[in-house]
Amino acid sequence: MDQRNSGGAADRRRSAWPLQTTRRFYRIDRRDISYLRFILEAYDGMAVLTTRDAAKGIVRITIAPGCEMLVDDVISALARAEEIFIEPLPGEDANAFSTGRACADSI
């Protein structure tokens, strides 16, 4: 029996957990959008900031699997140090801004 390939078939049959990114929406001072983007990009592969509405300061942060706590820590530290104003927008979905349903009363 060839020992080089033992376990190969079992490895192919093993199903992996699907890794999914987390999306969170925030409202920040529009002057701080690029600053927050650069801070998040400094942590290579941790998160990506996308501007949804620059005039209103609405951004989406897409977080890599397993990095949610680190992003929370970074955002909390920046807010505590009063370097940025950031407000979470709970309950938003990815299509809410394109349909005009997101934060209609709160913005």
How many Cβ atoms sit within 10 Å of the Cβ of residue 86? 18
- 32 alpha-carbon distance from chain centroid: 17
What does each C-alpha distance from 83 to 32, 36, 79, 90 come to in angstroms?
A: 9, 10, 6, 22
Q: Are 30 and 55 in contact (CB under 8 A)?
A: yes
94 vs 85 pLDDT, higher one: 85
pTM of the model: 0.68
Amino acid identity at 93: D
Q: How far apart are CA 79 and CA 75, in angstroms?
A: 6
Is residue 91 very low, low, confident or very high in pLDDT (cuts 50, 70, 90)?
Answer: low
pLDDT, tens digit, for every residue of 8-53?
555 555 555 668 999 999 999 999 999 999 999 999 999 999 999 9
Is residue 88 very low, low, confident or very high in pLDDT (cuts 50, 70, 90)?
Answer: very high
86 vs 96 pLDDT, higher one: 86
Sheet-wide strand order for 22-28: 47-53, 58-63, 22-28, 86-88
Domains, the chain, in order of start with CATH, read 22-98 (3.30.70)
Q: What is the pLDDT of residue 72?
A: 95
Largest CA distance in the chain: 69
